Structure 1
Amino acid sequence: MAQTVLAVIAVYLNIFVGFCFSQIYILDDAGGLGRVFDGIGGLSGGGATSRLLVNYEEPYRSHILDYLFKPNFGASLHMLKVEIGGDAQTTDGTEPSHMHYDNDENYFRGYEWWLMKEAKKRNPNITLIGLPWAFPGWVGHGKNWPYDFPDITAAYVVKWILGAKQYHDLEIQYIGIWNERSYDSKYIKLLRYTLDKNGLDRVRIIASDYLWEPIAPSLLLDPELSRAVDVIGAHYPGTTTVTEALKTNKKLWSSEDYSTFNDEVGGGCWARILNQNYVNGHMTATISWNLVASYYEELPFGRDGLMTAKEPWSGSYVVESPIWITAHTTQFAQPGWTYLDTVGHLAKGGSFVALTDGRGNLTVVIETMTHDHSVCIRPPLPPFNVTSQKAIFQLKGSFASIKELQVWRSQFNFKTKQPSFFEKLTPLKLLDGSFTLNLAEDEVYTLTTITTGRKGSHPDPPPSACFPKVYKDDFHVRTPPFSEAPNFADQTGVFEYYINLTDPGPHIFTLRQVVTQRPVTWTSDADQTISVIGDYQWQNLTVTCDVYMESAKTGGVFIAARVDKGGQSVRTAKGVFFWVFADGTYKVTNDLDIKDILDSGLEGSRFGFLRRGWTIALLKASGTEPVLKHSQKHP
């Protein structure tokens, strides 16, 4: 009896082997299990963050997609969350809506349909999630609040889900409310009713894609609301949750997280939160914003994706550390596996989780990320210490008979600056169900019975290159695979391929701005529509564009160079802007608000401008001052 008591005490107390500090950790399923694991995912959108990916030529485009989605290859993501385009700026650009107007439906706009199909092609079991950030103006009847017309908003979202199935054979499994905005209980209930009425009872609702509160307390007080919501989704929770969320017994997800520059500190952030979101907050899914940094780096939050693919003109891309940190979990545990109750923090810093499929397989993921090497962009990270340590893991219950574990390791090696990621080590032999690890700082280990893990690779991509010094597009695409022209990144408004048969002049194939009503915005859109192309370079350059104003009375067009801002900051963009208006006047300004005027006058008197018809607009910026060249009508 005394020996048994001593053995139990040893489990919970620090013991010393020689002069090395050790701690025993028990991995046991005999007393029950924890929550069901729902997966690790990436978020495409929330600001046109995959915009440049579709422009990559093969085979590089497929290689990038393999690193993201292919099972047992790279990140091997379990979940893909996409923005339901709303024609408005949502961080780094706009994504087109499937319904620009109330009598308009088109389920081939944008690239999210294509991306979901490519993900599904690689992983047929991937979970697909949709969430609106903004809505076309007609949804709000001119108001910036979609909940004033909940039936219209619900119908709009449900049509997107039905269109995904009808036109692309895509099953959307989860749908959100409105990104990082106040929720409306009446709308959530009506959305549930509208889904069910359209045979979409299988589609689950996530709320509120913002904070744990006040949605969690509301679910406890409102049974009907609780029945409508399946998942409580919080953004950037800092690995913690609240008591009310736990009391609901709902699935708890970090439905948007990470959002951090994807250097090695960013990889450390991702490693820490993937484990500690469950250890500290019982979150069973974590979704990275964003999926892939495939937008101009000068836009907000440049390079915040799991990997970088921002140069379709060169074919260059970079497989960043977060890809391999993701693989430590995703290649060795699948949705439907269950966390063990015996998970937690390591005695000298770091954390460990363990998952099982209920059929004898076990996966253990350990991280020892230090504070300064795992800082995420948000929220602030309180101080903590991590030091080297020896850890002894004792397998109990159904795992006691395991004799060998596969071992994968990542070492950030911040001191030597010689990191190694997702290395397969010699399998570890267990003695009486026990194994010992010497854990250094800033490491990630996976120990698993799963033998299918693989560090996939493709031939090296082409070298990085700047945006071409000479670039031209005549939009002559008869059957465009996407609605946007290559490398153009819409920042306010939506520019789409358009075959102009009504008044073609010299141009039949064109790029046309199609939004005529201010959307229900999520951030501060500019008052003028704008699409950018190329990286920001203060250099001598010439911009030439054939333009056509469909109205002979109002409005105008502009071309610009050296534009310094985009995304959610586009409203305050500076640069050199050449404006031509339908009333025959022109302006040259340093800003998008047409306040800092460098030159102005009557276009018709100076350049012979034709108010209605095709016009060549040309702007030359040289030295430190713009040089205005004339616009001229086509012969």
Structure 2
Amino acid sequence: MRHYETLSIASYLFCIVSSGSYFVDDTFGLGRTYDGIGGLSGGSATSKLLIGYPQKQRDEVLDYLFKPHFAASLQILKVEIGGDAQASDATEASHMHVEWEENYERGYEWWLMKEAKLRNPDIKLYGLPWAFPGWLGNGTQNPYRNNEKLADYIFKWIHGAQVYHNLKIDLIGIWNERWCDTEYVKVLRKKLDDNGYSDIRIVASDLDFGIVDFIKADSELASVVDYIGAHYPGVVSPEDAKEIGIPLWSSEDFSTYNDEVGGGCWARILNQNYVQGLMTSTIAWNLIDSFFQGLPWDRTSLMTAREPWSGNYAVESPIWMSAHTTQVTEIGWHYLPHGHGVGMLDGGGSYVSLVSPDLTELTIVVETMSHDHSVCIRPDLPPYTVQEQKVTFILGGNFAKITSLNVWQSKLKFNPGESSTYFQSLGPVPVINGKLSLTLGVDEIYSLTTLKTAMHGEYGLPPNSAPFPLPFVENFEEYPVSAEPYILAPQQGSFDVVDVGGDHKKVMRQMVLQPPIVWCQETLRYNGSLNLLGRFNWTDVDIDVDVQVGQINGSDGVFIGARIDNGGCGTYAAKGVFFFIFPKEKTFRVTNDIIGNTIIAEGKQESAIVYGWNRLSLSIKNQTVTGFCNDIQMFSVTAPNVPANGFVGVGTDIYGYADFDNIYLHSSTTWAQPQKLPSNPLYFVKEKTA
């Protein structure tokens, strides 16, 4: 009784300017089936650094994301089907770099899906390609050039997940935010059905609602599309989409900086995507910011974990906005009809009611997010107002006899010195004569539920944030073959660990042999590779790497670089210092940009450059750039137009095999003896000042 009295007293302390009564009643039937809330790993390797975290912090982060009744408790995990091409922040590896080879150990999405399933066996897994290896296009940028071949490629990814990782893929998409060949959708459906995967559902087309027109005109297409997935719909959907009889999803949404405004955005659209758009699932891009700071789309994620060297992470506000729905529902529940449990509030905001299939459990989620405190990155948000208000929910039908509801509340605060509260239990609140009244402030969200399983999970504070430690050494010996090194972020190309034997044993190899079918069209301006490492704010950092070009299908040249100022879809425009060698010609070139328009130094060194392993060293102090090959100085020049700071990196001038080993990074003013730090899976070294 105590919690109910507190709420009643609070109602007299506010200046009530609005009030309304809202029926929650299943007498008039049920609304659409609830399909779940999810997060998206990929669309640019957004989870890249997470696998390299110390196990304790890594497990904590995974629990915050996936553990039921703990925090975000996500119900869908959507992942990128890697295509060896840039998709915003980095590339993800294909399971088939070339047509004649398959490999189901590459990348980290397999690992992430297994970790999600370990925590929640009922989580739904959803795969979607952003890009494709170039062989599928046969020299074009069209993956649909041979629909049978494309369907087989996607089928092999699904089958590989099952055979090699015991992962059942539940949902499959077509091509992220690109045109959808409707004939391919039919071919894919047949391929899956003919090979024992008839239970996999197809989502089309992960772009907008344009596919509705094709579905209306093609009954066969209508029979094979299970969900219509649109991106960033702005909580609305066309009337003909609502009437077509196929469930509607916001299959990518949010994409907003994860501060309090980002939390407000997520809370608002989770409710209103159904209230206004009848969308029964919403999936956030992206799941977690686990990529280097300084790359595009900083912190547009549900939470942040981008320091595997320190173990630091941050549980951001969108995690708890998710909990208000995910912890008090399950996939397969039903929304109640509009006007009988779903609608907009008179004073601004919205409410949705969901019920279990047996009609024994009820959850009501209420949000009052104001306009300026819930703006998403896209699309534009039309003006509206929200005010303090008193609401009364009147329970009827199967819920008329409910005597109390458990209440969870979050309050987002925006004034200096104020702190938000997240997913705080207000205890059970009595329902008297079928009615429950609450006073709602602005920028609040409530969950009222018959369930008793929700909780605010907590692990305490993570380790403090720390800069990337120098010196750093990587020799790749501790990785399994085919793994992608944890701490490097490929911007173009794809890099696997391979065992070459001899003195080098395991090395990192660039694997892409031809331009892929890209998602970022601008990346076609540079048909080479780049793999970044470190911090975007580094200035005077030296890099030493062993390199060799492949003797078969090899690249022409290979480079190391520093102060690299660009990545993502803008990799082609990267500036910095790039030290190339071309072993066949025994020449070198130093450029101010990755494409090579501005040459700082060049020459031929037959005695220094060999057709095999070469040790390259690059040092920058202020504007002085010095390079060595196999301990022979190649150049020392002043480069006034070099960026003031940036990442270090390695790569190739064109696509083709090239190997990298024994990466050593250090400050230009320090030296160090390599020493493994036992608390961390990465290979850092302790630094001493010179």
Q: Distance in 1 between matches of 2:405 and 2:202?
A: 38
User: How do residues 488-567 of structure 1 correspond to structure 2 at under 5 angstroms?
Assistant: 488-501=488-501, 504=502, 506-523=503-520, 524-525=522-523, 526-551=526-551, 555-567=556-568
For 2:4, the equivalent position in structure 1 comes to none
What is the CA-CA distance between 1:303 and the residue it aligns to? 1.0
The amino acid that maps onto 1:411 is K
- Give the letter for the 2:33 counterpart: V
For residues 550 and 78 of structure 2, what CA distance do their matches in structure 1 show? Answer: 37
Question: How far is the alpha carbon of 1:180 from its aligned partner?
Answer: 0.4
Deviation per residue, 1:294-321 (Å, 9 max, x gap): 1012111011111100000111110111
- 2:269 equivalent to 1:270: no
1:58–1:522 distance in 2 versus 1, CA, 3 Å = same
Distance 1:594 1:290, change over 3 A: same
The answer to whether 1:186 aligns with 2:183 is: yes
1:408-434 alpha-carbon deviations (Å, 9 max, x no partner): 000012125311111001321111111
Residue aligning to 2:91: 94
- For residue 118 of structure 2, the aligned residue among 104, 121, 127 is 121
Tell me, in whole angstroms, the C-alpha distance in 1 between the residues paired with 2:538 and 2:91: 25
Whether 1:144 aligns to 2:141 is yes
Read off the aligned partner of 2:626 and give its amino acid letter. V
| Deviation for aligned residue 1:285 | 0.3
For the Cα contact (< 8 Å) 1:266–1:322, is it kept in 2? yes
Partner of 1:573: 574
* Pairing of 1:164-563 with structure 2 (within 5 A): 164-213=161-210, 215-341=211-337, 342=340, 343-357=342-356, 358-415=358-415, 416-477=417-478, 479=480, 483-501=483-501, 504=502, 506-523=503-520, 524-525=522-523, 526-551=526-551, 555-563=556-564
AA of the residue aligned to 2:114:
K
Q: 1:183 to 1:385 in 2, by over 3 A?
A: same
TM superposition shift of 1:18: 11
Q: Which residue of 2 is the match for residue 12 of structure 1?
A: none
| Contact 2:614/2:629, CA 8 A, preserved across alignment | no
Q: Which amino acid aligns with 1:451?
A: K
Shift of 1:624: 3.4
Mean Cα deviation higher: 547-556 or 119-128: 547-556
CA distance in 1, matches of 2:268, 2:399: 26
How far apart, in 2, do the equivalents of 1:554 and 1:393 lie? 68
Match of 2:587 among 566, 582, 585: 585
Q: State the aligned residue count.
A: 610
Q: Deviations over 1:123-174 (max 9, x none)?
A: 0000010001111111111211011111100000001111111111111111
Q: State the Cα distance separating 1:475 from its structure 2 match.
A: 1.1
User: What is the aligned counterpart of 2:101 among 96, 99, 104?
Assistant: 104
Q: Which SS does the other structure have where 1:562 is aligned?
A: strand
Question: Aligned pair in 2 of structure 1 residues 389, 81: CA closer, same or farther (>3 Å)?
Answer: same
**Within 2, Cα distance between the matches of 1:350 and 1:70?**
29
Mapping of residues 11-30 of structure 1, within 5 Å = 21-30=18-27
Partner of 1:9: none
Equivalent residues of 1:580, 1:603 under 8 A apart:
no
Q: How far does residue 45 in structure 1 lie from its aligned partner after superposition?
A: 0.6
Cα separation, 2, equivalents of 1:478 and 1:446: 45
Residue 626 of structure 1 deviates from its aligned partner by: 2.7
Q: What are the superposed Cα offsets for residues 485-531 of structure 1, whole Å, 9 maximum, x if unpaired?
A: 12111111111111003xx4x31221111111111111132321010
CA drift of 1:58 comes to 1.1
- CA drift at 1:390: 1.0
Name the SS for the 2:276 alignment partner. helix
Alpha carbons of structure 1 residues 437 and 485: separation in structure 2 relative to 1, 3 Å: same
Residues 530-549 of structure 1: CA deviation (Å, up to 9, x unaligned): 10011112421101101112
State the partner residue of 1:10: none
Q: Does the CA-based 8 Å contact 2:18-2:388 persist in structure 1?
A: no
Which one-letter code corresponds to 2:302 in the other structure? L
Q: Which residue of 2 aligns with 1:58?
A: 55
Task: Give the gaps of 5 or more residues in structure 1.
Answer: 1-16
Is the contact between residue 580 and residue 587 of structure 1 (CA under 8 Å) also seen in structure 2?
A: yes
Q: Which amino acid in structure 2 is aligned with residue 568 of structure 1?
A: C
Q: Which one-letter code corresponds to 2:348 in the other structure?
A: G
Offset of residue 478 of structure 1:
6.0
- Partner Cα distance (1:52, 1:31) in 2: 49
Q: Distance in 2 between matches of 1:149 and 1:244?
A: 32
* Partner in structure 2 of residue 5 of structure 1: none
Whole-Å Cα distance in 2 between the matches of residues 265 and 487 of structure 1?
Answer: 30
- Superposed CA deviations along residues 454-473 of structure 1, whole A, max 9, x for unmatched, are 11111421100111121111
Superposition deviation, residue 57 in structure 1: 1.2
* TM-score normalized with structure 2 length: 0.86
State the AA in 2 paired with 1:402: I
2:288 is matched by which residue type in structure 1? V
| Alpha-carbon distance in structure 1 between the residues aligned to 2:33 and 2:102 | 38
Report deviation, 1:632.
4.1
Q: Is the CA contact (8 Å cut-off) linking 1:550 and 1:612 kept in structure 2?
A: no
Deviation of 1:590 after TM superposition, in Å, equals 1.4
Q: In the alignment, is the contact (CA less than 8 A) between 2:293 and 2:536 conserved in 1?
A: no
Letter in 1 for 2:493: G
- Report the more deviating stretch, 242-251 or 442-451: 242-251
Query: 2 CA distance for matches of 1:531 and 1:92?
Result: 11
Letter in 2 for 1:586: F
CA deviation after TM superposition for structure 1 residue 229, in Å: 0.6
| 20 and 209 in structure 1: CA distance in 2 versus 1, 3 angstrom threshold | closer
Q: Does structure 1 retain, via aligned residues, the 8 Å contact 2:413–2:419?
A: yes
| Aligned: 1:595 with 2:597 | yes
Distance 1:455 1:548, change over 3 A: same
